[in-house]
Structure 1
Amino acid sequence: METEGQVVQHLVEGAARSGAALIAAAAAAVHGWVVLVDPVAGVLYSEPQSAASAGARAAAAAAQKSKTLDRGVTVRRVAGVSLVVSPGTTTSARRADLVTRTTAGLLHVRARRAEEIRPAEMRLHSAAARLLLQGQTDLASEIIGDLTAQALVVRLAAGPAPEKAHRAVWEAVLPLTTHPAPPALVALYDGDLAVIVMHESASDAGRVLRLLARAADQQGILGGVSDPVSLDMLASAWLQAGHARADAAVDRGLAHATGLGDRSIARIIPPDRLSAWASDLLRPLDPLRRRTLDTWLHCGSVSGTAQILGISCPTVRARLRSAGNALGADLALATTQAQLLVALRAPESTDGIDLPLADIPAHAPLHLVPDHVARDWAMRLVGDLDLAQRITVRVWLENLGSHSTVARALGLHRATLRRWLDQVADQLALDLSSPTIRAELHLAIETVAGPTESAEALPRLGGRTYPRQPPTGASELPDPQLELP
């Protein structure tokens, strides 16, 4: 049995190495599990990894105060994050308290140190980001080291308080208690906030985009996201991100150019055919109803649409009913919404297109290309998902992103469903909060899914059984994308 002095020494040594090493040393000292949770970034460190969800639940319960913690679990706020400690049954209360207090103190020291060096790190980020956006990749690599082959650009409106927005985004992407090598650079550039997300791995891009989406929503700011590009094309990506933000139908959050890159449906359909199909599909709508429909599909609620357009909720519902009648389509269906989102984002038709209406398929945009081309595209987008993931995403998209409905349909806990969707987002390197991305995912999964890939066919791992309840019925005009990961 280690003495108290030896325990403290091991914790200090861990803190000197990294935040992860400190949390690992704390978990070993209490013979249990320890998790560090950031309110924006989520779980920063977990030892063991399997305790991450339990730590996140404990941190949320402590924040709400009305919920009681599991017996023996301690939550302590330090440096803006929550330290969650669950000692083993053989650990005394005295030892657990010593480890908790010491770990909290060391985290505070690490956070103070991070605060001290943050101005210098911000200056380095600004210098490297400016060089990259100006095409000086060789000079940028001398500042931040070896660079990856690709990156994407997020362009955020800094607003009237740019320094405050800069700090908020910095803390969201690079929490004080961690010191990751970039997958991201954060800087003020041309009056906006530039976040260059380096593609160290597919999961890095998805994680950073989710953190940025949360920060943008909390700060009430709007941002545009470019497609992934090579480093020598970052200047064009900066412009693309600006266009995505300007074209957005929401007043906060992230608007994606597509986020799909070469996997976008627009890459397999000739632009003239896509434009003609979209023009024919949307022809029954006047500009007023088209704008209302576009805003509703992107912002995710009738009330949000009413606020953006400056009209009443009954007026929004009336326009949507009128649009549905004019299109002869059921706007409550996920496939209808996906097709309309693709059509609304298609390039506008230009003079000179000679495509008879008889040659324009009246159904999904994938009918504009041969079946084998559509299937190849769908496999590139969702082919890496296993059966359980594909069924989960399919049911989630069919139910317009409603976690409660999907959890009942699949017989899963909502926390499990959210974790699975986060894993899918990381695996595909996509931000599932983007309506455009969800639309293309839906079309891709429907293209490759077999008739038996339903909620009832979800594999049950480890022999575990789940209670099953039928999903509730859909409303006449449900708000799309009510619950996002």
Structure 2
Amino acid sequence: MSSTGTNDHGATGPGGARHGRETADRLLRAATRSGAHLIAEAASLVQGWAVLADPIAGAVYSTPAAAAADGVHAAAAPLEHPHCTQRPAAGAVLVVAPAPTVPAGHACHVATTTAALLEVRGQRAAELRGEQMRLHTTLIRLLLAGHTDAVTETLGGDRLTHVTVYRLSGADLPAAHEVLWRAVRPSIAPHADACTLIGRPDGELVVAELHQGGDDGRILRLVSRLSERHHLLAGMAGPLPLAEMPTAHSDAAAARHSATPDCRIVPADAVGTSRLAPLLPTAPYARWAGSVLRPLSPAHQHLLLVWLRTGSKPRAAAALGLSPGTVRARIRELSRLLDADLEDATVRAHLLLALRAPAPDAEGAGTDSVHSGGGGSGDRPGAPAGPGRLESLPDDLLDTEAARNWAVGLVGGLEPHLRIALACWLRHHARTAPAAAELHVHRTTLAGWLTQCADHLARNLADATVRAEVHLALKATRNGPDDPTALPRRGGRTYRRL
């Protein structure tokens, strides 16, 4: 890199103009090489440091590298760094910190010229970005269609073995897509150790991070910042083997339905994490679950798990990439296979509990695990001779002190009217209008009661898996019928507190 100029930076007349042209020429030559060279040349010209700071990615380029943190802080709080010269550039902020001996006019000239060249580079990159984005979307679709070999060959071999998937939704997706693209600067160069694909199939933002089995968390941090900045909701699944990309894709969508403005990105392994399952006796639990799920293949179980996690057939269809009609038809067929009414709230809660059971040979209860198809626990000595039933649980499953304490700790202390209203609402699959009609109260009244229930339980009742466990807790602690007719009244539709 060439050295800086002499002390006549602020000179006027022909000499000053000549020096200005020389400065511009040096910056232009650096810009033709790369953005990093351009920032390095700017730092050299001001005898200080220069940083291109992105609000999402942090320091994009920094010379020297140790100045990255100072540059990001200066971009975020310019009033605290009056000695720095800042210019907007290509969606980011250029921060130039000249040496004390460098005239302010020269520093401003360097910063302005550098920012202009960064804008030109950004425009050129934008011309190519559309084609690159379409290529990324195509590769994501190929992975979802199961063409793993074609994608790995395109990316240069079999070094990429696993994938982590993020699915984001929100009103500001186009802008978020552009920002994330600039922050990640994705490349599909062959034989890389990691590759990030960013696309927008079907109107949502999908990020697929391909790697060798473990990631450094960089993409997770970027997606988290992006979600906060653009008010998006995100689900994350993986790492999973690359061949299981469709599973990771649907699990990420199921996780996204549990995201809230307070928790904008949710990992799939945190969705529906059962607080009850670890408390159940492992052997009876695994035997019952294996018997119940025996008629189902792994694909059937995955469909049911996504449906029960998302809480509705249209959401499950979107997560699985199927039509709602197809999902409804398959659930009807699975209802026939299981010989159970899958529209019953208790049956759904028991089915979710079965799907989250540990494998029959596991020592301890774990999180969601899809049982293998075929024999299941029915092949083991002592397993039930016939398939289990979803309408009721085995007597020795919830009849333990730990399970009873869990149920009392969850729903104990609810006032009678709140308990009755919550149980009715859960029986109606979280639909307020039919529950209010059965309770003979106004929908607004019921909505207020449900808010009180959520506050008392300290749970997110919008999460279908939370509702399933609350339903089981209410059944386990019921002393009498949670019947809407038992709701205390003063007359007509007016509620009277006991």
Q: Which TM-score band applies after superposition, normalised by the shorter structure?
A: 0.5 to 0.7
Change beyond 3 A, Cα 1:171–1:140: same
Q: Please say which structure displays the higher CA radius of gyration.
A: 2
- The corresponding residue for 1:13 is 29
1:27 deviates by 1.3
Match among 12, 24, 40 for residue 40 of structure 2 = 24
Change beyond 3 A, Cα 1:217–1:256: same
Partner SS for 2:163: strand
Distance 1:54 1:272 in 2: 45
- The corresponding residue for 1:173 is 180
1:124 deviates by 0.7
- The corresponding residue for 1:109 is 120
CA contact (8 A) 2:49 2:63 kept: yes
- The corresponding residue for 1:56 is 72
- The corresponding residue for 1:198 is 210
**How many pairs are equivalent?**
307
CA contact (8 A) 1:114 1:177 kept: no
Partner SS for 1:271: coil
Partner SS for 1:198: strand
- The corresponding residue for 1:44 is 60
1:259 deviates by 7.7
Distance 2:253 2:105 in 1: 56
Distance 2:234 2:43 in 1: 39
Structure 1 residues 246-265: aligned runs within 5 Å: 246-248=257-259, 253-258=264-269
What do you get for the CA RMSD once the two structures are aligned?
4.7
1:21 deviates by 2.3
**What percent identity do the matched residue pairs reach?**
34
Distance 1:250 1:16 in 2: 43
CA offsets, 1:298-324, max 9 Å, x none? xxxxxxxxxxx9967x9968865x558
CA contact (8 A) 1:128 1:140 kept: yes
1:197 deviates by 1.6
- The corresponding residue for 1:359 is none
1:113 deviates by 0.7
Match among 233, 239, 247 for residue 222 of structure 1 = 233
CA offsets, 1:66-91, max 9 Å, x none? xx243421111122211000011232
Distance 2:231 2:25 in 1: 44
CA contact (8 A) 1:79 1:108 kept: yes
Change beyond 3 A, Cα 1:273–1:100: closer
Distance 1:137 1:273 in 2: 28
Distance 1:89 1:200 in 2: 48
TM-score normalised to structure 1 length: 0.52
Change beyond 3 A, Cα 1:58–1:144: same
Change beyond 3 A, Cα 1:273–1:104: closer
TM-score normalised to structure 2 length: 0.51
Residue type matched to 1:60 in 2?
A: A
Distance 1:241 1:126 in 2: 17
Distance 1:347 1:230 in 2: 30
- The corresponding residue for 2:365 is 271
Residue type matched to 1:21 in 2?
A: H
Distance 1:110 1:310 in 2: 57
Distance 1:241 1:218 in 2: 20
1:121 deviates by 0.7
Change beyond 3 A, Cα 1:149–1:72: same
Change beyond 3 A, Cα 1:140–1:319: closer
Residue type matched to 2:225 in 1?
A: R
Distance 1:48 1:61 in 2: 20
- Tell whether 2:277 aligns with 1:153: no
Moved more, 149-158 or 75-84: 149-158
Distance 1:7 1:216 in 2: 40
- The corresponding residue for 2:201 is 189
1:102 deviates by 1.7
CA contact (8 A) 2:54 2:183 kept: no
Change beyond 3 A, Cα 1:115–1:237: same
Match among 393, 407, 411 for residue 283 of structure 1 = 407
Change beyond 3 A, Cα 1:201–1:150: closer
Change beyond 3 A, Cα 1:29–1:251: same
Change beyond 3 A, Cα 1:43–1:14: same
Q: What are structure 1's unaligned runs of at least 5 residues?
A: 63-67, 292-308, 325-330, 332-343, 352-485
Distance 2:185 2:87 in 1: 18
Structure 1 residues 440-451: aligned runs within 5 Å: none
Structure 1 residues 317-356: aligned runs within 5 Å: 320=455, 322-323=456-457
CA contact (8 A) 1:214 1:253 kept: no
- Tell whether 2:247 aligns with 1:236: yes
Relative CO higher for 1 or 2, CA cutoff 8 Å, sep ≥ 6? 1
Match among 90, 93, 106 for residue 101 of structure 2 = 90
- The corresponding residue for 1:125 is 136
Q: What are structure 2's unaligned runs of at least 5 residues?
A: 6-18, 189-193, 272-277, 279-355, 369-396, 423-444, 460-464, 473-498
1:95 deviates by 3.0
- The corresponding residue for 2:384 is none
Partner SS for 2:256: helix
Residue type matched to 1:93 in 2?
A: A
Distance 2:262 2:457 in 1: 23
